[in-house]
Amino acid sequence: MHDYKNGKGGEPSVETVLTHAGRAPEEQFGFVNTPVFRGSTVLYNTLADLEAQKQRFLYGRAGNPTTETVESIVNELEGGHATKLVPSGLAAITIALMACVKSGDDVLITDSAYEPTRAFADQFLVPMGVSVRYYDPRIGAGLAELMQPNTRAVFAESPGSLTFEVQDLPALAKVAHDHGARLIVDNSWATPLYLKPLQLGADIVVHAATKMFVGHSDVLAGTITATEEAWPDVSRVRALLGYFSSGDDAYLVARGLRTLSIRMKEHEARALEIANWLQGQDEVVQVLHPALPDHPDHEIFKRDFTGSGSLFGIVLKPARREALAAFVDHMQIFAMGFSWGGYESLCVPSKVRRTVHPWSAEGPLLRLHIGFEGVDDLKADLAAALERYTEAR
């Protein structure tokens, strides 16, 4: 467990930042939360104002006070130069990649990347003339051997959202910068509460805000944060593509952020308890959680992270499909769904796609998101599922 109630060195604690950042009640008639601003047209009083283009807001697509609330909170947490809220995590990923590469350039992407990231790279970047290559997520400084003169970006996801390899971000950042490339990091799992990629050398950080930031499974959103050097390219691409999040969506993201620290501590504690319990179950071959001491990347995790998230994986003993169906089809609390980060627990069978090294596990891989139900109830649901699996195997 982590105590964020007290700041250090005169700086406010993260809990104080999450509670107060981005709010300006004196500008909103005293209301504690920034209201939902809906609007496209912004009016100008004079021709001089129109020509000067110096108003705080120029047009609805450029943002409003509600979207600014989210951006200011996330930017303060990440320690970035600037942050933008966009309609989804995938939108943040596509902006980040397109801000770094053009036709004729090369990009290196972790082999453990979120599947939509791979799809965008293979089905959009490649046809537009970008060379896309994948690298072993545990390559570290060995990435230098893959760098080419036209490599402009390295994309990392730590840990991987299916197989949970932890990447050596400082080593990747050094290699990227030594070769004139930028490092992009998907930080959705740990959030900036538990991992600070910009402090470790990253140039751009993206989040599927749909997950931990929102926390209620009721809105799609993404954020993209960058250093001062990288920001002009990020801002330009976002504006040209027309990505904009509505005031209604922004309000829901801001609502979720206010309780992020408390929720993360609860998610972490519950997930670790269940992960440790699962290690003792006969049908479980491996628990993929980087905070566990026997995880291959645990030392890197301890060095770079200050906590862990709600999401981890388990590999079961090999069995026929009917056994897997028996496991998941009759669960009473866990539901099947492709997202995570909400208050409800999820369990979904996952297929691993690999380019560099084939996934070697013989049994099925299940991804678990641990929500806020009673831990004993969740264990009982999993125990019954494991019993059904044994009987059907």
Task: Judge if 272 and 244 occupy the same domain.
Answer: no
Report the alpha-carbon distance of residue 254 to residue 176 in Å, rounded. Answer: 33
Structure confidence by residue, pLDDT tens digits, 13-68:
888 888 778 777 778 778 777 878 888 888 999 999 999 988 888 888 888 989 99
Task: Judge if 207 and 339 occupy the same domain.
Answer: no
5 has a pLDDT exceeding 60: no
Report the alpha-carbon distance of residue 251 to residue 33 in Å, rounded. Answer: 9
Task: Judge if 143 and 174 occupy the same domain.
Answer: yes
Task: Judge if 230 and 91 occupy the same domain.
Answer: yes
Structure confidence by residue, pLDDT tens digits, 379-392:
999 999 999 999 99
| Residue in the structure block whose two tokens are 């051997």 | 145
Mean pLDDT of the chain: 94
Q: Is 320 a catalytic residue?
A: no
Residue that is last in its domain, among 258, 289, 308? 258
Task: Judge if 155 and 223 occupy the same domain.
Answer: yes
Task: Judge if 26 and 42 occupy the same domain.
Answer: yes
Structure confidence at residue 107 (pLDDT): 98
Residue that is last in its domain, among 201, 230, 258? 258
Q: Which of 10-24, 85-99, 121-135 has the lowest mean pLDDT?
A: 10-24
For the CA atoms of the chain, what is the radius of gyration? 22
Structure confidence at residue 161 (pLDDT): 85
Residue that is last in its domain, among 193, 224, 258? 258
CATH value at residue 252: 3.40.640.10
- What dihedral angle (degrees, nearest 10) is formed by the CA atoms of 325, 331, 336, 340? -140
For residue 268, what are the domain limits? 261-392
Of 209, 224, 218, 221, the closest CA to residue 246 belongs to 221
Is residue 9 a part of any domain in this protein?
Answer: no
Identify the residue with better confidence: 283 or 60: 283
**358 C-beta neighbours (distance < 10 Å), count:** 8
Q: Is 203 a catalytic residue?
A: no
Is residue 237 a part of any domain in this protein?
Answer: yes
Report the alpha-carbon distance of residue 119 to residue 99 in Å, rounded. Answer: 18
Report the alpha-carbon distance of residue 82 to residue 84 in Å, rounded. Answer: 7
Q: Is 114 a catalytic residue?
A: yes
165 has a pLDDT exceeding 90: yes
Average pLDDT over residues 125-142: 98
Q: Which of 106, 111, 136, 186 is catalytic?
A: 186
Is residue 175 a part of any domain in this protein?
Answer: yes
Q: Which of 211, 238, 367, 388 is catalytic?
A: 211
Instruction: Give the contacts of 242 (CB within 8 A, at least 6 positions apart).
Output: 61
Task: Judge if 186 and 79 occupy the same domain.
Answer: yes
Q: Which of 61, 236, 302, 354 is catalytic?
A: 61
Instruction: Give the contacts of 238 (CB within 8 A, at least 6 positions apart).
Output: 84, 86, 95, 224
Is residue 26 a part of any domain in this protein?
Answer: yes
Task: Judge if 247 and 311 occupy the same domain.
Answer: no
Q: Is 133 a catalytic residue?
A: no
Token representation of residue 132: 């896309």
pLDDT band at 202 (very low <50, low <70, confident <90, very high): very high
**Is-contact 224 206, C-beta < 8 A?**
yes
Q: Which of 10-24, 73-87, 111-125, 161-175 has the lowest mean pLDDT?
A: 10-24
Report the alpha-carbon distance of residue 355 to residue 357 in Å, rounded. Answer: 6
Q: Which of 4, 114, 194, 389 is catalytic?
A: 114
Task: Judge if 206 and 270 occupy the same domain.
Answer: no
Structure confidence by residue, pLDDT tens digits, 323-370:
999 999 999 999 999 899 999 999 999 999 999 988 989 999 999 999
Helix, strand, coil % in the chain, rounded to nearest 5: 40, 15, 45
Average pLDDT over residues 216-220: 95
Task: Judge if 58 and 136 occupy the same domain.
Answer: yes
Is residue 84 a part of any domain in this protein?
Answer: yes
Task: Judge if 127 and 61 occupy the same domain.
Answer: yes
Task: Judge if 90 and 190 occupy the same domain.
Answer: yes
Is residue 209 a part of any domain in this protein?
Answer: yes
Beta bridge partners of 345: none
Of 326, 315, 324, the closest CA to residue 362 belongs to 315
pLDDT band at 83 (very low <50, low <70, confident <90, very high): very high
User: Number of structural domains, the chain?
Assistant: 2
pLDDT band at 10 (very low <50, low <70, confident <90, very high): low
